[in-house]
Chains A and B, each alone.
Chain A
Amino acid sequence: MDMNQYLSMFIDESNDHLQSLNENMLLLEGSPNDLSIVQVIFRSAHTLKGMAATMGFEDMASLTHQMENVLDLVRNEKLAMQDFIFDTLFKGLDALESMVQDITEGGEGKADVSEIVASLQAIVRGEDPSGKGTGAAAQASASAPKVGAAIQLDEFQYSVLNQSIADGHRVLYLDVHIRENCQLKAVRAYMVFDLLERSGEVVKSSPSVQDIEQEKFEHSFSLYYITLKDPAELESQILNVSEIDKVTVMELDQESLQQMSELGSASQEAAAVAEAPAKEEAANAVTTQAEAKEQTGQKQTPQAPAAKTPSKTGGAAPSRTIRVDIERLDVLMNLFSELLIDRVRLEQLASEVQNHALTETVEHMSRVSSDLQDIVMKLRMVPVDTVFNRFPRMIRDLAKSLDKKVDLIITGAETELDRTVIDEIGDPLVHLLRNAVDHGIEPIADRISSGKPETGTVHLRAFHSGNHVFIEIEEDGRGIYRENILKTAIKKGVVTQEQASAMSDEEVNQLLFAPGFSTAEKISDVSGRGVGLDVVNAKITSLGGQVTIYSTPGKGTNFSVQLPLTLSIIAAMMVKMGSEKYAIPLSSIVETGIVRKEQIRTVHGNKMVEFRGQHIPLISLSKIFNIKDFNEHEEAETEIIVIHKGERLAALAIDEFIGQNEIVLKSLGKYLPQIKGISGATILGDGQVALILDPNVFIK
């Protein structure tokens, strides 16, 4: 069977399961006695094992199997979770992650896991690496689950059945006899299977599905089947299939299931074919490796039960989502951009032609295309959770290695951001979080002496505000001390003594982003390589966002990252400067207005206007861009646009407002160098190109 088509599904699902394992392990660490969490973990591990085995990744299967053994003991209250067990399990998860990574990159998912396997086995045996061996009870129970593994049902299938009973599904044992004069046994058998699979899962059949397909059976076959259907109804349905002679349906509970499998194990030699419930399959060896191999063997049987189980244990509710290649979404987005340009053009033409019917059609089309735009944009939106979900684990490890106690509290993980932004934002956030734990949160002793709770708190928040998404990382650590920063900045030659004394607190905080600046006195392996925050800042700026630092010395620091919702279509105010047209992103506009000439004052040679009680600089775009046919000084009244960058405001003098528009961002091409004040171009309805201003540059 060609496995390639399943590989990407396998990788996606493995990642999902690993993620959920990580999350639940962390939950469990918080409340080690909550057995319901252990159940969830067990199920994930179990599914993962099944999938790995089906795909033939033996190392992965055997490692998950060992982890499962440990979890099984915990789940049955034979083993209490302890720190070293958590650590070992986490190590196991890491190893699994790297294997999946390897598979993703085209490798074979092989890794030397013997060390982890050995320590997992030691845990199962009840050995404590610290030497306090907890004894034989655990050991005895370790072999318990293996009993079920004895006959035709391997341990894996047995536990699937067992689990299904526990979940309230019906597990049935069916014995189907086909009429002796039947010519097409395989076809009839196939019809029965087909019928069964419509309302449940065949876990195991005897003879094997392959043999049945090749008519290598006499006149009957038996199978284990999981369903929600009524046995009697099922029986009558099967009997409706032509040439079926007799059907025996037996509903199993956990006890009878065990008996059945033991029975099978006893009679396995006798029953080579048919009739008897036992199968020709050899008894499973008890060792992990043998089992892993056994399961790999099954993957060659296309309809082997193992291949089916993942979907079932994954939950009964059918998924309402599909996975789509991100490239297709990009293509969709590009095509939509083209459409948007034509729409604007049509609107313009319609308003020129003044034909009633045409105007109506164009208006309708505009409405439809705005809805379409919403949907296209939403398709590309991904909850930030996809980035956030790896942080709890990271913070846990980090806090442990630094010997600090840290709680990470995540809020707003459901906030959505454009996929392109999500892909880029991970690394900067990792950096900021590491920074918060390493530099922000103080060592336990310091915290106690300054009267703070011994556990530090890091809040990771995401929320929408206007056209932006904010991600804030706030800790209750030591805060930023102005003097410390200035001292370092002066020492490193980032600023001079004179400059330093004139700087506002906010400006001082921004110094943290200066290249080559790092306040940590010692270089730790966590952060403090001196190439930190400036890289973060550069990355976020390149995404069209910005970082602001708020800090109270002694109380903590807040890094607030502002990000645009999307990168390719923005709302903008179109303005005219003489004969030229420019677009100003709405996100940076505070308001628009008109000032009379006498309201413009000159302070230190700079033009200022009054705006809501404060004086803000008036910037002459025509001067900056050398616009020849417009000069605001010649006008008695000037239109202004008040723009903001963070808290700071400025006014741009412009000629004329055109109106608000959705514009598609285009680059200026590779040939032109970066131009200060211009972030790109867009194509207007009349086919002309207008430049998009980057107002942030005008505010210093």
Chain B
Amino acid sequence: MGEEIKVIVFKLGSEEYGIEVDKVQTIERMLPITRVPKTYTFVRGVINLRGVVIPVIDLRGRFGLPEGEYTDQTRIIIVAVNDMEVGFIVDSANDVIDLHTDRIETPPEVVGGIKAKYLDGVAKIGDDRLLIMLNLSEVLNKNEIIQLESLEE
């Protein structure tokens, strides 16, 4: 019993990822970021989004991928989950597609270097495109981050 959902598609490296459109507030070009010291390593800092201060995280850093340079394709996707507003820095974001939930399959253990628990599943779109659906509340789960950070120290 699936349904049709709209998904924002963005890129990290060569992989394509998807976030349900109703969790996305806006997509912005790169904005000046103020560094916040003494916080998670993948938190780039905070931005001023029309008068609201919002933390932004580098999704590459969050997933342990090598961090790249910011280009004029780089975008900040502002998502709102569990009353938290957070910006994701992604390599590019330029597509919205319709997706039937039935086509989302349980992900294999590791996709593109990202642990399965951060994923809702993988959807095949078109002939050779794979869309990785993110599990936002898991990506923003702070308990796990704290463990992660303590391991690094």
Q: Which of B10-18, B42-50, B108-116, B126-134 interfaces with chain A? A: B42-50
In the complex, which residue of chain A has the Cβ closest to the Cβ of B33?
A689
The answer to whether the Cβ of A524 comes within 8 Å of any Cβ in the partner chain is no
Evaluate contact between A683 and B51: CB separation under 8 angstroms: yes
Q: What mask results when residues 648 to 680 of chain A are scored 1 for a CB within 8 Å of chain B, else 0?
A: 000000000000000000111111110111100
In the complex, which residue of chain A has the Cβ closest to the Cβ of B43?
A672
Evaluate contact between A667 and B38: CB separation under 8 angstroms: no
The answer to whether the Cβ of B37 comes within 8 Å of any Cβ in the partner chain is yes
Evaluate contact between B46 and A668: CB separation under 8 angstroms: yes
Complex Cα distance A683/B54, Å? 11
Distance in angstroms from B43 CB to nearest chain A CB is: 7
Evaluate contact between B53 and A681: CB separation under 8 angstroms: yes
Q: Which residues of B contact A688 (CB under 8 A)?
A: 32, 34, 48
Evaluate contact between B55 and A671: CB separation under 8 angstroms: yes
Complex Cα distance A345/B3, Å? 47
What is the count of residue pairs linking A and B with beta-carbon distances less than 8 angstroms?
Answer: 71
Evaluate contact between B34 and A676: CB separation under 8 angstroms: no
Q: What mask results when residues 147 to 189 of chain A are scored 1 for a CB within 8 Å of chain B, else 0?
A: 0000000000000000000000000000000000000000000
Q: Which residues of B contact A681 (CB under 8 A)?
A: 34, 46, 53
Interface residues of B in 11-68 (CB under 8 A from A): 32, 34-39, 43, 45-48, 51-55
Complex Cα distance A536/B95, Å? 53
Evaluate contact between A683 and B53: CB separation under 8 angstroms: yes
Given contacts A669-B84, A676-B38, contact A687 B48 (CB under 8 A): yes
The answer to whether the Cβ of A580 comes within 8 Å of any Cβ in the partner chain is yes
Q: Which residues of B contact A625 (CB under 8 A)?
A: 37-38
The answer to whether the Cβ of B140 comes within 8 Å of any Cβ in the partner chain is yes
Evaluate contact between A691 and B34: CB separation under 8 angstroms: yes
Interface residues of A in 624-644 (CB under 8 A from B): 624-627
The answer to whether the Cβ of A600 comes within 8 Å of any Cβ in the partner chain is no
Evaluate contact between B51 and A672: CB separation under 8 angstroms: no
Evaluate contact between B140 and A668: CB separation under 8 angstroms: no
The answer to whether the Cβ of A122 comes within 8 Å of any Cβ in the partner chain is no
Q: Which residues of B contact A671 (CB under 8 A)?
A: 55, 84-86, 140, 142
The answer to whether the Cβ of B152 comes within 8 Å of any Cβ in the partner chain is no
The answer to whether the Cβ of B83 comes within 8 Å of any Cβ in the partner chain is yes
Evaluate contact between A690 and B53: CB separation under 8 angstroms: no
In the complex, which residue of chain B has the Cβ closest to the Cβ of A688?
B32
Evaluate contact between A580 and B35: CB separation under 8 angstroms: yes
Complex Cα distance A566/B124, Å? 55
The answer to whether the Cβ of A341 comes within 8 Å of any Cβ in the partner chain is yes
Q: Which residues of A contact B54 (CB under 8 A)?
A: 669
The answer to whether the Cβ of A338 comes within 8 Å of any Cβ in the partner chain is yes
Q: Which residues of A contact B55 (CB under 8 A)?
A: 668-669, 671-672
Distance in angstroms from B65 CB to nearest chain A CB is: 20
Query: Which among A341, A670, A677 is the interface contact of B51 at CB below 8 angstroms?
Result: A341
Say what secondary structure dominates the interface of chain A.
Answer: loop
Complex Cα distance A683/B32, Å? 12
Complex Cα distance A687/B31, Å? 10
In the complex, which residue of chain B has the Cβ closest to the Cβ of A341?
B51
Given contacts A666-B53, A667-B53, A671-B86, contact A689 B38 (CB under 8 A): no
Question: Which of A341, A672, A675, A678 has the most B CB atoms < 10 Å from its CB?
Answer: A672
In the complex, which residue of chain B has the Cβ closest to the Cβ of A676?
B38
Distance in angstroms from B34 CB to nearest chain A CB is: 4
Interface residues of B in 80-102 (CB under 8 A from A): 83-86
Complex Cα distance A675/B45, Å? 12
Chain A's interface size range is 20 to 34
Q: Which residues of A contact B140 (CB under 8 A)?
A: 671
Given contacts A669-B84, A670-B84, A671-B86, contact A338 B51 (CB under 8 A): yes
Distance in angstroms from B39 CB to nearest chain A CB is: 6
Evaluate contact between A669 and B37: CB separation under 8 angstroms: no
Distance in angstroms from B111 CB to nearest chain A CB is: 24
Complex Cα distance A677/B38, Å? 9
Q: Which residues of A contact B46 (CB under 8 A)?
A: 668-669, 672, 681, 689, 691
Question: Which of A626, A673, A675, A678 has the most B CB atoms < 10 Å from its CB?
Answer: A673
Evaluate contact between A689 and B37: CB separation under 8 angstroms: no
Q: Which residues of B contact A675 (CB under 8 A)?
A: 36-39
Given contacts A666-B52, A683-B48, contact A691 B36 (CB under 8 A): yes
Q: Which residues of B contact A690 (CB under 8 A)?
A: 34
Distance in angstroms from B27 CB to nearest chain A CB is: 18
Distance in angstroms from A163 CB to nearest chain B CB is: 56
Distance in angstroms from A629 CB to nearest chain B CB is: 11
Complex Cα distance A671/B84, Å? 6
Q: Which residues of B contact A627 (CB under 8 A)?
A: 37
Q: What mask results when residues 462 to 506 of chain A are scored 1 for a CB within 8 Å of chain B, else 0?
A: 000000000000000000000000000000000000000000000
Interface residues of A in 566-580 (CB under 8 A from B): 580
In the complex, which residue of chain B has the Cβ closest to the Cβ of A690?
B34
Complex Cα distance A691/B46, Å? 9
Distance in angstroms from A558 CB to nearest chain B CB is: 36
Q: Which residues of B contact A673 (CB under 8 A)?
A: 39, 142
Q: Which residues of A contact B47 (CB under 8 A)?
A: 689
Complex Cα distance A338/B51, Å? 7
Distance in angstroms from B22 CB to nearest chain A CB is: 19
Question: Which of B32, B48, B54, B140 has the most A CB atoms < 10 Å from its CB?
Answer: B48
Q: Which residues of B contact A667 (CB under 8 A)?
A: 53
Q: What mask results when residues 596 to 633 of chain A are scored 1 for a CB within 8 Å of chain B, else 0?
A: 00000000000000000000000000001111000000
Evaluate contact between A669 and B86: CB separation under 8 angstroms: yes
Complex Cα distance A92/B37, Å? 58
Distance in angstroms from A277 CB to nearest chain B CB is: 69
Q: Which residues of A contact B32 (CB under 8 A)?
A: 687-688
Distance in angstroms from A200 CB to nearest chain B CB is: 53
Q: Which residues of A contact B85 (CB under 8 A)?
A: 669-671
Q: What mask results when residues 682 to 700 of chain A are scored 1 for a CB within 8 Å of chain B, else 0?
A: 0100011111000000000
Q: Which residues of A contact B34 (CB under 8 A)?
A: 580, 681, 688-691
Evaluate contact between A689 and B84: CB separation under 8 angstroms: no
Q: Which residues of A contact B38 (CB under 8 A)?
A: 624-626, 675-678
In the complex, which residue of chain B has the Cβ closest to the Cβ of A683?
B48
In the complex, which residue of chain A has the Cβ closest to the Cβ of B32?
A688
Distance in angstroms from B87 CB to nearest chain A CB is: 10
Q: Which residues of A contact B39 (CB under 8 A)?
A: 672-673, 675
Complex Cα distance A98/B139, Å? 49
Complex Cα distance A338/B50, Å? 10
Evaluate contact between A668 and B142: CB separation under 8 angstroms: no
In the complex, which residue of chain B has the Cβ closest to the Cβ of A626?
B37
Evaluate contact between B35 and A672: CB separation under 8 angstroms: no
Question: Which of B55, B83, B140 has the most A CB atoms < 10 Å from its CB?
Answer: B55
Distance in angstroms from B139 CB to nearest chain A CB is: 11
Q: Which residues of A contact B84 (CB under 8 A)?
A: 669-671
| Residues of A participating in the B interface, judged by any CB pair closer than 8 Å | 338, 341, 580, 624-627, 666-673, 675-678, 681, 683, 687-691
Can you list the 8 inter-chain pairs with the closest CB atoms, starting with the nearest?
A625-B37, A689-B34, A666-B53, A670-B84, A681-B53, A671-B84, A671-B86, A689-B48
Known: A673-B142, A677-B38, A683-B53. 9 other contacts (CB 8 A): A338-B51, A580-B35, A668-B36, A671-B85, A671-B140, A671-B142, A672-B39, A678-B36, A683-B48
A-B contact pairs, 18 of them (CB 8 A): A625-B37, A666-B52, A669-B46, A669-B84, A669-B85, A670-B83, A671-B55, A671-B142, A672-B36, A675-B38, A677-B38, A678-B37, A678-B38, A681-B46, A681-B53, A683-B53, A689-B34, A690-B34
